[in-house]
Structure 1
Amino acid sequence: MQTSPLFLVRYEDHSRELNRIIQAEQHQGRATMVWNQVQGFTLYHDSKIYPLSEKNDSVFKNPKDAVRFIINRVQTKVVYILEDFHHFLGDKNAVHADVGEIRALIKEIARSFYEREEKVYLFVPPSYELPDELVSFFDLTYAAEKNKTEFLQKYGTLLTEKKYLEKSKPVIGAENQIERVVQILSQMETNNPLLVGNPGVGKTAIVEGFARALHTGDVPLGLHGKLLYLVSLNTLVAGTKYRGDFEQRLEGLIKEVQENKNRIIVFIDEIHTLLGVGAAEGAIGAVDSLKPVLARGEFPCIGATTFDGAKLMLKDPALSRRFKKIQIKEATPEETFIILKGISKSLETHHKLTIEDRALMAAVYLSEDHIPDEYFPGKAIALVDAAAAYCSMKKIDTVRESDIAMEVERMGVMS
């Protein structure tokens, strides 16, 4: 089924949503033309803003003429955003004199744009409801009826938030795994990826890489505008005092995701624990309520677990069928060095010092020799991070090979 070129966007934070879509489209090589009745059309292209005008400025500020302009001017690599256009469309209960003509023009956009490259986003407030006659003409991916995410905001971490991404390390060498996550999430059935691998092999880093792709819009159209939340058992259990507290939190979270399933994906680390597989009976067993919503496709999620956790999940066939496994292998020493090189700038910025390449190489071979019970690249990254923290504390401005060796000694693992 072909996707509609018309998108309804219900915003809670207008500026944030506007900037997010402009950035996402720019990442895809498309310019954005934003329309409102005060300014007419404004072009956003290559991080620059160009107000547009004609001899008769009302041509751009009249909503009917603005829509006719969009229909008649065939553009490539352009998307349109119509701000607060609900005033002119009317809703289920309110109409005005020009509503019939404007609705007809909007329908014409939907019909004519199927063979064109442009898209049109209509920005509306959260409470707005489309007239019944227009619903079938719109893609409602961005228009969840309820945008309240109280439990997710309280017990989850928004991985697609710009502030989070700015603090996270770059993801190196995981392009194939991220692509596989995107592919599985885009499937019609069995569309919950399950990352399986030993601790430290980079499962969370892969999800963070996917979060960055969501943020920039470097994903298929069906995933555009999605928010990715990290949820863990620890955050749900923390602070519970009375019987039923955990169940109440979990049920609230499940309900929120169900209500926003078209715009939210949940990442659950150590998912076998949260699902209660193999756990003792009691409060944690209440998460059985999560299984049916997973089965109905009402809880879009990415899971991560160890090989032992995956074996536990296999004991529940009804559950394991809802996930498609992606095995995450341990990086080789050579791959680990490349990863360390890729993230070294982030570590240097955080610790306010420089890290020599020889120190990175030392972290690889020393962690391989002296930390055999942990896995690449995690153990090498942790070693460099710890050595850099020590150097920063001692006001040493460069991390050298000897600093890595001394950190191994401080860890008490040097034989």
Structure 2
Amino acid sequence: MTTFDRRTFLRGTGLAAVAGAALPLIGSPASATPADPDQLFKNGRFDEAERGYRRQLREDPQHARAAAQLGYLALLSNRFRTAETFLSRAVKLDSGDLASKQRLAECFVRQDRHASAVPLLKQTGRERDTAFATLFGALKGRPWQISGASSARLPFHTLDPVPSVEASVNGGSPKKFLLDTYATLDLSTEVAEEAGLKPVATVTAVISGKPANLYLGILESFKLGGIEIRNLPVHWNDAKRPPLPDGSDPAGAFGTTVFYHFLTTMDYAGRALILRRKTHGFQAANRLPLWLAGDHYPCTIGSLGDHGPRMVTVDTGGIASALDTTVAIAEQTGLDVDYDNPTERFGTKTYPVTADRISLGKAVGRNMRGMVAEKVFPGFPGPGQSAQFGFDLLANFTHEFFKPFAVTFDYTRMNLFVSRG
């Protein structure tokens, strides 16, 4: 399976929908003014944008967009109380603001308050939201109950095509799961049936460019080493996943929705996934800001050569790739695009690219290979999310870049650490 097919599969399983709008070129921060918080937000200058929206709301307490954007900015940083306050205000001011209803629902889901998300998702009139409302409404008792060890170290069984570790489903024997920050928690149909799962809702998804049924259910137990998680939402489908090196099929994939329940380290260099309870602290020299867009799209700031730092996504699951961006951005930033060897994904031409230098803070990769696309298409990572998220993205940093490093996601303090393993 190709890189982009893999991403389309994983992205098709998340709660967030993918927008197909065309990507604008990299915005110029100098073009934004203090009076233009929308442009500041688009350029990723979030602190300045927030000050602008607060000023608008002081001048006009009925300014629904300012309230909505303040709530969205808070949600990106997991400032849940502030997000709830302003998103609720936005919905009250504009009952037709479906995006704020979805974001307020996501605010509750991230806090494991799924019941509070149900009425909001029912109001959007969208098939996907209705299905997830049914799923969340079927949860009985407290979801995401975590017990057992205070930390767990799970060795990678594979590093390529993407890392994998063993986990147990409903008390069964350990099975190999792919790790990917662009994943939520997904099972193969065979594993779901073996675990005795029954769908409580079904929704149509586009996976690898084809329509497919996504089945939603409730998992009784998911065990990772000495840590057990109980009563958690899960989904499964019949899509073909990237095979493991021995030719066998993985049991599924998991990523950010599991990761943000812990202080999580993907230690590429040490070949292990490390999960610690959120009460643990963490410090490393290369600390970067962390934002979470949608339900499973981690963002930080990075650079392509001397261009940046700008907003980027962190998709650890890109097969045989270190970065993704568009042809337009590659040309602006001076990347070496191999126009002589095009490929095609869903009707869009893509090309191999080599970057002399890319970096996340002090973490630097040299002569990094990746892929660029002529235009955005469903399943395209990084800049492909710009229209969906409302802010421009420079690139997506992925699998090959991270191999020398250990990457730690702290969703409590919203820090990303990328350090030498």
TM bin, normalised by shorter chain, reads under 0.3
- Of structures 1 and 2, the one scoring higher in RCO (CA 8 A, sep 6+) is 2
TM-score by length of 1: 0.25
The structure with more radius of gyration: 1
Which of the two has greater helix per residue? 1
Please give the TM-score of this superposition, normalised by the length of structure 2.
0.25
